[in-house]
Amino acid sequence: MKIVSLAVSKTKGTQKSQVESARLIQNYGLEQDAHAGGWHRQVSFLAAESIARTRDQGLDVNFGDFAENIATEGIDWPKVQVGTRFQLGDEAEVQITQIGKQCHNKCAIYYKAGDCIMPKEGVFAKVLKSGTVKAGDPIRKI
| pLDDT tens string 64-87 | 988 899 999 999 999 999 999 999
Kindly list the domain boundaries of the chain, sorted by start residue.
2-141
Ordered per-residue pLDDT tens for the chain, 142 residues: 999 999 999 988 778 999 999 999 999 999 999 999 999 999 999 999 998 988 887 878 889 988 899 999 999 999 999 999 999 999 999 999 999 766 656 655 566 655 666 768 889 999 999 999 999 999 999 9
User: Among 112, 124, 8, which residue's Cα sits nearest to residue 67?
Assistant: 8
Neighbours of 39 (CB within 10 A): 13
* Architecture of the domain whose range is 2-141: Beta Barrel (2.40)
109: enclosing H helix or E strand: helix 108-113
